[in-house]
Amino acid sequence: MATPMILDCDPGHDDAIAILLALGSPEVDLIGITTIGGNHGLDKVTYNARAVCELAGRPEVPVHAGCRRPLIREPIDAAYIHGETGLDGVDLPEPSRPLPDRHAVDWLIETIMSREPGAVTIVPTGPLTNIAMAARLEPRIVERVKEIVLMGGAYGVGNATPVAEFNILCDPEAARIVFSESWPVTMIGLDVTHRALCTPEVQAALCEANPRLADAVGGLMDFFRSTYQDQEAFPDPPTHDPCAVARVIAPSLVPTRRCPIDIELRGALTYGMTVADMRALVDDSDPTCTTRVGVGLDVERFWALVADALARLG
């Protein structure tokens, strides 16, 4: 039985790979995509999400545009990593379906409430504004969501600041809401995703897996590599977002441990930090702690999973 999944994203090069991974994996039923201003403004990332579905041959997957701005702070973006379009380096097909009017937050609520309790898994790979808004607008969704598996945060080093990860820093107040609700939250942070480096060997294997998509995947990764080399001193780009999708598809691929996580909202140097209490005070089976953190990645299996998904997209 495939897991019904909603991907809440801001494509973004690694978001694009996350969408392709979800669409190409039989373990997942991607029931829709919601978008959020993050890596780039809302209009660009929404267009990109639709264009990636078109590229995958799945234009019927519903895409709904969400929040344009964070709850409280001023918007920031990551154009320095993802380029002018948000997906520089590739020519994507134009979306063939019109963008629905319905706001992503309304669509999220309606979709979750219309499904069986415990059915839907949400995978946010951008700022958490939409998810926080949905929880406040319709609190009953909190107990109906099976799990939130998000890319964001870190218990170690940050990226947008020394201690804060970009997605969380975009809207720390929204993150506080999402992490403090009673639904299960699994945080797949930089501690995991910095291991998912798309080396030239990995990239060649991905391109070989699907010749039809090879130009697009290669173009995305070439651009992503160049900005990560120039801006972040990484030899190869860490491909963050598909790690969260992979955790849903094959949990053993991303080991986690249960620990309390809170979001720093007041620190002059630490605003947006995900403070994970790793002191092992919480037993792994303790149900009163609803947050988990990813602590590792089976890198070889991860990339094999992505290659298999690309191959299935035909």
Judge contact between 283 and 224, C-beta under 8 A.
Answer: no
12, 32, 95, 260: which one contacts Ca ion (CB under 5 A)? 12
Task: Give min distance, CB of 15 to Ca ion, in A.
Answer: 4
Q: What residue type is assigned to position 33 of the chain?
A: I
Q: Burial level of 283, CB count in 10 A (0-12/13-18/19+)?
A: exposed
> Binding to Ca ion by residue 15, rule CB under 5 A?
yes
Span from 9-17, 89-97, 140-148, 216-224 in contact with Ca ion (CB under 5 A): 9-17
The candidate with the shortest Cα–Cα distance to 87, out of 199, 10, 1, 163, is 10
Picking from 91, 90, 83, 77, the residue whose alpha carbon sits closest to that of residue 126 is 77
Q: With binding defined as CB under 5 A, does residue 129 bind Ca ion?
A: no
Stretch that binds Ca ion, among 82-90, 134-142, 209-217, 234-242 (CB under 5 A): 234-242
Least distance from Ca ion to the Cβ atom of residue 149, Å: 14
Find tokens 């990860």 and name the residue.
Answer: 165
Contact between 126 and Ca ion per CB under 5 A: yes
Total binding residues toward Ca ion, as defined by CB under 5 A: 6
**Cα distances (Å, whole numbers) of residue 37 to 74, 147, 193:** 12, 23, 21
Quick note: the x/- pattern for Ca ion over 259-288, rule CB under 5 A, is ------------------------------
| Catalytic annotation present for 240 | yes
Identity (one letter) of the amino acid at 219? G
Evaluate whether 194 touches 294 at the Cβ level (below 8 Å).
no
Q: Which of residues 25-84 bind Ca ion (CB under 5 A)?
A: none
**Do residues 263 and 275 lie in contact, with contact meaning Cβ atoms separated by under 8 Å?**
yes
**Residue 171 is a binding residue for Ca ion (CB under 5 A):** no
Q: What DSSP string describes 235-272?
A: SS-B--THHHHHHHH-GGGS-EEE--EEE--S-TTTTT
Least CB distance to Ca ion at residue 45 (A): 9
86 binds Ca ion (CB under 5 A): no
Residue of 13, 82, 194, 240 marked catalytic:
240
In angstroms, what is the minimal distance from the CB of 127 to Ca ion? 9
**Residue with Cβ nearer Ca ion (12 or 89):** 12
Instruction: Give the footprint of Ca ion on this chain (CB under 5 A).
Output: 10, 12, 15, 125-126, 241
For the annotated catalytic residues, the residue numbers are 240
